[in-house]
Structure 1
Amino acid sequence: MRKSKQSTGSRDPLKFFISEVSCVFRLKENGTNVKTEIFAGIATFLTMAYIVFVNPSILVQAVGVDASSPLYQQFFGAFMVATILGSATATLVMAFFANYPFALAPGMGLNAYFTYTVCLGMGIDWRVALAAVFVEGLIFIGLTLVGFRKFVAGIIPESIKVAISAGIGFFIAFIGLRSAGIVVSNPATSVTLGDLTNPGVLVTVVGLLVIVALYHRKIPGAVMIGILVATLVGAIPGIGVTKYQGIVGPVPDISPTFMKLDFSGFLSLDFWIVVLTFFFVDFFDTLGTITGLAQSAGFMKNGELPRANRAFLADAIGTSVGALFGTSTVTTYIESGAGIAEGGRTGLTALVVALCMLAMLFFAPLAQTVPGYATAPALIFVGALMIGNLGRVKWDDITEALPAFITVITMPLTYSIANGIALGIISYALVKLFSGKSKEVHWFTWILALAFALWLLFIKH
């Protein structure tokens, strides 16, 4: 008895911890180990950490406070904390509930839709918009739990799904170009080329070139590094667009955005159009991202992803919880592929990402130091990546190509993702009808097309 007690007491705590972690995440069954998973998590975090800087810089504009106001910094800090907590919560659910190396954070494009279309374009208060995000997440949860995922996936044609992603890419790239001052308003031509001698333009161009160069060399954290380099360039005397606020500091107060949901617009049609748009973009973005990541990691079995519903629930839960904190729709990040490429195969990779995200809570001064000219390159670059899927559209079939084109082109030109989705679905149904291919249109797509047409013609204006 004494010998047994002695051996138990002398057990190496580190080895015991590693053994327990390996058991929880089933590392041996998945052909990986703790070291590989940790490095994979760090790689994923570095590639997506830019969202901590970019997301609050977009969402704070929805509040409508002047950048020189003390309220601006308060809301910026609150949105930053909401971004981190929403990301960490969803990623932790993915880690422990689904056991996949997928990281989640507020989606690029969806944050732009939240601010520029819903709040600034439609005039909907940001708190009502958060309520729409919350409801969208609940719908996502409900449809996943009752097994409607496959049904919803079959509603929207493949060409429109691809076009939605690409259109959002053009949209956020356009926002990036405007933030940089490269594209500006013009009363005669709507938009035109800006003043390229503006110091801010130089900051954006340098940041974009750094991102592209590092990304081409497969260096983790290319976008993050590009933003930081651009920020440093902006601090050079004579350029002066970077206002140093510090690097490390106390965690900002989240109270300006926490639990600020406003359901006063719940019964309005505009509210549900916003909910529907959030849902479709989130659902199909998640579907495409998770499927692509699963295929690259070799997770697919007989064309299906094991525990797929759990992965979708992590996304949906993250969206609703994120809205409670005060951020736009949370979704699975394609940047998770960086960790998968490093050998990440389990939820331990996601756990490492979540912990790294939480550590960013103490870097609020650095986030507030980064100027809009330094985050613009991230918008342009991510937008360019999202456009790549356009090759999947059947361009030799005009009944598929034209609706896809309309979806893509109307998003940036009307400054609205909702308009692009609506016109894309309407045009798809009509083109198929007049081309004698109406049987290719899902019955629910006809209902959506009619609802969107009524909204555009009689309600939106």
Structure 2
Amino acid sequence: MEKIFRLKEHGTDVRTEVIAGITTFLSMAYILAVNPGMLAAAGMDQGAVFTATAVSAAFATLLMAFLANYPVALASGMGLNAYFAYSVCPMLAEQGITDPWQVALTAILVEGIIFIILSIFKFRESLVNSIPKNLKLGITTGIGLFIAIVGLKGAGIVADDASNLVGMGKMSTPQVVLALVGFLIIAILTHYKVKGAILIGIIVTWLLGIGAQLTGWYDVTVNPSLIPNFSVENILPPSLAPTFFKFNFEFMTQNVLQFAIIVFAFLFVDLFDTVGTLVGVASKGNLLDKDGNLPKAGRALMSDAIGTVAGAVLGTSTVTSYVESTAGVAEGGRTGLTAVVSAIGFILALFFSPIFLAIPSFATAPALVFVGLLMMSSVKDMDLTSDAADMAGGFLAIIMMPFTSSIANGIMFGILAWVIIRLFQGKFKEIHPVMYVAGALFALRIFMLVMGWN
């Protein structure tokens, strides 16, 4: 252990690293319950997605451990899976695309390959620095709102309203009450710094739902396949066959611009989300060098990129570094041994698939809403009072995501507004070439929408 992870050099020991790894896993294990349900809404096989989520998380986290020796765990990213399931797939389905999730997986594969190339040439960090801070923060905040609305709708807390588009759901509905109680449970557990607060909140909400069903208040037709069954046969992980290497390259060649927009949206969100998470975790663990830079950043980013490609091949949304890794760092995790322990947690979870797959949507809704809350905290660091380009771009990025049910729309309108206002300000040199390219790409996309060319 000492030779591989250099524990003494980092001021830690095996016991501390193991506790930190368990803490990180518990903090992010909710993704095993949430991700299969979200991607199932896009038409994917829920069992296969569960296995793909766990295997890709374990694989990418082990890469991070042995390539970069960082206490960072990876898994399918929240926000990126929402864009996959609720933006890309419905849009493609409206065009008559059969199995639109295969197109989305193809976009993630391409995104991962691009990131591998950018990581090799150490171009990824410079790309992140070219994106205005307000846009980064606005996009993160907007994704938080988008995820929260997905959770609220899933539990019936938010419902369709003929006069106002959206309204409050029926408070007498058990799912609504249970989801709201679940959110409060997570918030209270978080206040007391309980490890795995989100996962515990999901499980407690589910148990309360079972109690409500036993008392006759919550009446539901139970799918026998979702009842936990721990026979030798059923304890084995679900097969990956329904999602493994299921790509649609034909759509990519026939709809180059539209496919490029999808890839760019995945790319853009994952781009600064990963670097931001790595820097945040490293900062909390005092792993940055004297200049505030991230040592071995290239290896860490390569682990993330390879993990994304592996996730696409297995059949899950973009794999990215998890900010919940800070929970493990707070417990003293400083090396890749922490990540190894977290990866083992995902491997062991494969044999508890009946439990994770049986969790209903009203129990995962509180987790979505609470994650949305955590992501929305970025708004406090935004400057919404001075520069017009920063204000308008950041604001549009926030509001267009939840109000148009599309993360890509928020990115598109935010970037376009920022670039156009900067041009009218005469600050041509302040616009990075990457932003010019992105603005031109999105302007072309809007032109296509105006002309009715989906």
TM-score by length of 1: 0.91
Alpha-carbon separation, structure 2, partners of 1:440 and 1:388: 27
Amino acid in the other structure paired with 2:48: A
One of 365, 384, 389 as aligned partner of 1:399:
389
Shift of the alpha carbon at 1:410? 0.1
Task: Indicate the residue corresponding to 1:415 in structure 2.
Answer: 405
Alpha-carbon separation, structure 1, partners of 2:152 and 2:237: 31
**CA RMSD across the alignment:** 1.4
Task: Indicate the residue corresponding to 2:69 in structure 1.
Answer: 99
Alpha-carbon separation, structure 1, partners of 2:437 and 2:242: 39
Shift of the alpha carbon at 1:23? 1.4
Which string of whole-angstrom CA distances, capped at 9 and with x for unpartnered residues, describes residues 62-92 of structure 1? 117xxxxxxxxxx111000000011011000
Alpha-carbon separation, structure 2, partners of 1:365 and 1:240: 21
Alpha-carbon separation, structure 1, partners of 2:436 and 2:329: 39
- Does residue 454 (structure 1) correspond to residue 444 (structure 2)? The answer is yes
Unaligned runs of 5+ in 2: none
The 5 Å alignment of 1:40-59 reads 40-59=20-39
Percent pairwise identity: 47
One of 331, 336, 355 as aligned partner of 1:342:
331
Indicate if the aligned counterparts of 2:69 and 2:336 stay in contact, CA closer than 8 A. yes
Alpha-carbon separation, structure 1, partners of 2:87 and 2:446: 14
Alpha-carbon separation, structure 2, partners of 1:247 and 1:293: 38
Shift of the alpha carbon at 1:447? 2.3
Which string of whole-angstrom CA distances, capped at 9 and with x for unpartnered residues, describes residues 350-380 of structure 1? 0000001010111111112210000000100
Task: Indicate the residue corresponding to 1:197 in structure 2.
Answer: 172
The 5 Å alignment of 1:312-351 reads 312-351=301-340
One of 225, 228, 248 as aligned partner of 2:200:
225
The 5 Å alignment of 1:20-39 reads 21-39=1-19
Alpha-carbon separation, structure 1, partners of 2:244 and 2:426: 52
SS at match of 2:412: helix
One of 74, 81, 84 as aligned partner of 1:111:
81
Alpha-carbon separation, structure 1, partners of 2:35 and 2:87: 15
Indicate if the aligned counterparts of 1:241 and 1:371 stay in contact, CA closer than 8 A. no
Shift of the alpha carbon at 1:188? 2.4
Which string of whole-angstrom CA distances, capped at 9 and with x for unpartnered residues, describes residues 73-120 of structure 1? xx1110000000110110000011110000000000100100110001
Indicate if the aligned counterparts of 2:127 and 2:434 stay in contact, CA closer than 8 A. no
Task: Indicate the residue corresponding to 1:364 in structure 2.
Answer: 353
Indicate if the aligned counterparts of 2:84 and 2:317 stay in contact, CA closer than 8 A. yes
Amino acid in the other structure paired with 2:398: V
Amino acid in the other structure paired with 2:80: L
Alpha-carbon separation, structure 1, partners of 2:429 and 2:384: 20
One of 60, 82, 87 as aligned partner of 2:57:
87
Alpha-carbon separation, structure 2, partners of 1:96 and 1:399: 42
SS at match of 2:75: strand
Shift of the alpha carbon at 1:242? 8.9
Shift of the alpha carbon at 1:126? 0.6
Alpha-carbon separation, structure 1, partners of 2:316 and 2:165: 31
Alpha-carbon separation, structure 1, partners of 2:437 and 2:3: 49
Task: Indicate the residue corresponding to 1:68 in structure 2.
Answer: none
- Does residue 121 (structure 1) correspond to residue 121 (structure 2)? The answer is no
Indicate if the aligned counterparts of 1:207 and 1:226 stay in contact, CA closer than 8 A. yes
Indicate if the aligned counterparts of 1:234 and 1:241 stay in contact, CA closer than 8 A. no
Shift of the alpha carbon at 1:435? 3.1
Change beyond 3 A, Cα 1:416–1:168 = same
Task: Indicate the residue corresponding to 2:250 in structure 1.
Answer: 264
Task: Indicate the residue corresponding to 1:385 in structure 2.
Answer: 374
SS at match of 1:81: helix
How many residue pairs get aligned? The number is: 431
Shift of the alpha carbon at 1:185? 1.4
Indicate if the aligned counterparts of 2:261 and 2:441 stay in contact, CA closer than 8 A. no
Which string of whole-angstrom CA distances, capped at 9 and with x for unpartnered residues, describes residues 385-418 of structure 1? 0010112211221331121000100001111111
SS at match of 1:192: strand
More displaced stretch, 104-113 vs 388-397: 388-397
Task: Indicate the residue corresponding to 1:284 in structure 2.
Answer: 272
Amino acid in the other structure paired with 1:421: I
Unaligned runs of 5+ in 1: 1-20, 65-74
Alpha-carbon separation, structure 1, partners of 2:330 and 2:300: 19
Alpha-carbon separation, structure 2, partners of 1:443 and 1:184: 42
Alpha-carbon separation, structure 1, partners of 2:237 and 2:283: 38
One of 218, 243, 254 as aligned partner of 1:239:
218
Shift of the alpha carbon at 1:448? 1.4
Structure index of larger Rg = 1
Alpha-carbon separation, structure 1, partners of 2:46 and 2:219: 21
SS at match of 1:188: coil
Change beyond 3 A, Cα 1:127–1:31 = same
Shift of the alpha carbon at 1:421? 0.5
Task: Indicate the residue corresponding to 2:365 in structure 1.
Answer: 376
SS at match of 2:295: coil
Alpha-carbon separation, structure 2, partners of 1:328 and 1:192: 30
Amino acid in the other structure paired with 1:405: F
Amino acid in the other structure paired with 1:289: T
Shift of the alpha carbon at 1:338? 0.6
TM-score by length of 2: 0.92
